[in-house]
Amino acid sequence: MHNTADTLVWLTIFGAAAVTYGLRIGGLLLASKLPKTGRFKRFMDALPGTILLSLIVPAALAAGPLGWIATLCTALCSLKTGNIFLSMVVGIVLVAVGRGYGF
């Protein structure tokens, strides 16, 4: 019994690892076969920002009023100062303090 459970654990972990690594290296190797100018380039240039933004939008929307304020302050701080660490700390401290006061 124990052995079967252990096998499943390692199958899951290495399955997830193989899939993730395949995507990482696959993206890089496929990219060299794609065009590097015009619309496609603008598409690729925009991707980093739009992917990161998409990653957070649902979680930020679900964070409630306190989370919205904290997200807005983090965003403004990042835009104005360019200091990524400071901007994160602003957001996390706002949420921690806000919750401390029962929001």
Partner 1 sequence: MNSRSPQLRDLRAGFAANLVVSLSVGAYGSVLGLMAAQKGLTWYQLLVMNLSVFAGSAQFVMVDMWVPPLPVAEIVLAVLVINMRYLLIGASLNPLFQDTRLGHKFVFMHLVADENWAMTMARFHKAPTTTWFLLGGGLCVQSAWCLGTLSGHGLGAVIANPERYGLDFSFVAVFTALVFSFWKGRRDILPWLAAAVGAAIAETLLPGKWYIICGGIAGALTAAFAPGKDGGDA
| Shortest Å, Cβ 8 to partner 1 | 4
Note whether 23 binds partner 1 by CB under 8 A: yes
Q: Which of residues 32-91 bind partner 1 (CB under 8 A)?
A: 32, 34, 37-40, 42-61, 63, 67, 70-71, 74-75, 77-79, 82, 84-85, 87-91
Angle, vertex CA 96, rays to CA 90 and CA 97, nearest 5? 85
Out of 2, 15, 65, 69, point to the residue binding partner 1 (CB under 8 A): 15
Report in angstroms the alpha-carbon separations of 13 from 8, 64, 80: 9, 34, 41
| Shortest Å, Cβ 4 to partner 1 | 8
| Shortest Å, Cβ 82 to partner 1 | 7
Out of 2, 28, 65, 101, point to the residue binding partner 1 (CB under 8 A): 28
CA atoms of 76 and 99, how far apart (whole Å): 21
Query: Using H for helix, E for strand and C for coil, what is the string for 61-80?
Result: HCCHHHHHHHHHHHHHHHHH
Out of 2, 3, 69, 96, point to the residue binding partner 1 (CB under 8 A): 96
Contact 80, 74 (CB under 8 A): no
